[in-house]
Amino acid sequence: MMIQTSRDIVPQEQTRAALEAMRAYFTATAQSRPRQERQRLAHEWLAAVRRLRATPP
């Protein structure tokens, strides 16, 4: 059995946040939501990806 450390959990949470942000952006795009809302969601998605990439291994 493998025990997860807090170093393992943080990247998982960040990955989940990035995927949820991506899903929200594509859902808004598919539903033709206003451009300003799509831009905000795209910004949130990119910020989540940047946080994920900045996490040390």
Query: For the segment 18-28, what is each residue's pLDDT rounded down to a tens digit?
Result: 999 999 999 99
Higher pLDDT, 9 or 42: 42
Select from 11, 10, 22 the least CA-distant residue to 47.
22
Res 40: pLDDT: 96
Write the pLDDT tens digit of every residue in 31-44.
999 999 999 999 99
For residues 41 and 24, is the Cβ–Cβ distance under 8 A? yes
**Is this model's pTM higher than 0.85 or not?**
no
- Tell me what the pLDDT averaged over the chain comes to: 85
